[in-house]
Amino acid sequence: MGRAHLVLAVPLAPGHPPPAGQGRLGPSARRSGVRGGRGGAVPRGRGGQLLRGRASGAPNRPAARGAPRLPGGRGRASGRAGPSRRAERRARRRRPPLAHLSADVAVAVVIPNWNGRDWLPECLDSIAAQTLAPADVVVVDNGSTDGSLDVLAAREPPVRTLALGRNTGFAHAANRGLEASDAELVAMVNTDVVLEPDWLERMVAALHAHPEAASVASKMVDLKDPGVLYDAGDFLRRDGACEQRGRFERDYPELDEPGEAFSACAGAALYRRDAVLAAGGFPERYFAYLEDVDLGLRLQLRGWTCRYEPAVARHAGGGTSERLERPLLAWVERNTLLLVARWFPLRWAPYVMYRQAGWAWHALRGRRLRSHLEGAAAAFRELPAVLRERRADPPDRARLAQVIPPRSISRWRRRPSAPRRAAATSR
């Protein structure tokens, strides 16, 4: 979620706002058609031997008549369609035809980096060891001052690098990486993530099998203790809570099976490039944190779905921003309120207010009230711009009721009867 791009040098005070954008990409972003990369993806077997045939183990298959219906509002048993059916039809019209991947599908990997010199070598080595070799690897550097560019310059073979010169945030760096690539599929990988050798091949196979999906979430575990989960798909509640499934719990068998997710953590996820660009890309107003949840919501509103594939990515659990706890909490609070103001209907306000009251009490007990207030104040300063954007493009309330149903937790989150919480020392 862009943890490695949160920096103390980017204050939340008035007069020094973080780099903000509307989440829109430049004219170079092609919003239709599919183009392959240079040479496509090259599947490899064990020992690095090249494999013949398709880029993944799952073949193309004809598109279904429509994406699986999401649970939500009630329609009528007969006669005129109810609001939920009308919302579903509108979403189908907005969504482009179901995308099929060609046998020589091109896959690119984009790595947003900020002061990740110590993590880059292992991350890049894990990408080079993939059984499905990416056609392109792009590192987007956010003005690192720790010698990251020197590490990249010394890599053999060379790694394509985009140096932005300053810390513009995870969302901006991710969008620049999307624009720089022309691959059909783009994997977003954090600097402090190490991929298992079959990670990319399994993620591509998941999109092969589900043409209605625009993204795939992976199984992220702790780098030092792989038995501790970090993320297995994100989910969003009507009170505005954006949570990660399985976070800091002991791994359990249910998460070894593919399934649905609401959105994917961009620390290790695969996206259909054209679908992301058509939805406006990662919202740059957020700078870091929750930009992937906002993108996932916009994709859902356009009729796309998100899949969960238990391909393992080992995550360092904070990497270059683990020392920035207070600013981290302020950014999360700010971005949560901005997401709610932009998308949620007014009738959900009681849920949001109840959660905010509980969060304020929790922050007061934990002596984190200052972070809570800083985030709320920063969101209030951004509120006029967000409301103007909302009036120009109002959210589809009927569709929102479908993609975020009242029991959204039980829909996306599958846990065993007795969840096993990881020890605090595992963090």
Neighbours of 357 (CB within 10 A): 10
Residues 230 and 333 in one domain: no
pLDDT digits (tens, 9 = 90+) for 196-241: 999 999 999 999 999 999 999 999 999 999 999 999 999 999 999 8
Instruction: Name the nearest CA neighbour of 304 among 67, 35, 6, 26.
Output: 67
Residue 75 in this model has a pLDDT that exceeds 60? no
- Residue 20 counted as domain residue: no
Residue 269 in this model has a pLDDT that exceeds 70? yes
pLDDT digits (tens, 9 = 90+) for 5-16: 544 333 444 443
Residues 217 and 179 in one domain: yes
Buried b (16+ CB within 10 A) or exposed e, 5-37: bbbeebebeeeeebeebebebeeebeeeebeeb
Residues 360 and 288 in one domain: no
Residue 156: exposed, middle, or buried by beta-carbon count in 10 A (0-12, 13-18, 19+)? Answer: exposed
Q: Which two tokens stand for residue 282?
A: 């990662």
pLDDT digits (tens, 9 = 90+) for 76-134: 333 344 445 555 555 444 444 445 555 568 999 999 999 999 999 999 999 999 999 99
pLDDT at 355: 82
Buried b (16+ CB within 10 A) or exposed e, 168-204: bbbbbbbbbbbbbbbbbbbbbbbbbbbbbebbbbbbb
Last residue of a domain, one of 267, 293, 321: 321
Instruction: Name the nearest CA neighbour of 38 among 158, 184, 176, 174.
Output: 184
Q: Per the structure, how many domains does the chain have?
A: 2
Neighbours of 62 (CB within 10 A): 8
Percentages helix, strand, coil for the chain (3-state, rounded to 5) are 35, 15, 45
Residues 304 and 369 in one domain: no
Q: 358: pLDDT confidence band, cut at 50, 70 and 90?
A: confident
pLDDT at 43: 43
- Residue 280 counted as domain residue: yes
Instruction: Name the nearest CA neighbour of 335 among 84, 100, 87, 1.
Output: 1
Last residue of a domain, one of 269, 303, 321: 321
Residues 255 and 109 in one domain: yes
**What is the share, in percent, of the chain residues with pLDDT greater than 70?**
67
Last residue of a domain, one of 306, 321, 336: 321
pLDDT digits (tens, 9 = 90+) for 377-416: 999 999 999 999 999 999 999 999 999 988 654 454 544 3
Domain limits at 399? Answer: 325-413
pLDDT at 101: 56
pLDDT at 382: 96
pLDDT at 47: 45
Residues 223 and 333 in one domain: no
Residues 232 and 257 in one domain: yes
pLDDT at 56: 36
Q: Are 247 and 415 within 8 A, CB to CB?
A: no
Residues 329 and 316 in one domain: no
- Residue 48 counted as domain residue: no
Instruction: Name the nearest CA neighbour of 98 among 302, 242, 371.
Output: 302
Residues 149 and 280 in one domain: yes
Cα distance between residue 246 and residue 255, in whole Å: 9
Residues 317 and 336 in one domain: no
Say which CATH number the domain at 155 has.
3.90.550.10
Cα distance between residue 348 and residue 318, in whole Å: 32
- Residue 89 counted as domain residue: no
Residues 315 and 363 in one domain: no
Residues 254 and 277 in one domain: yes
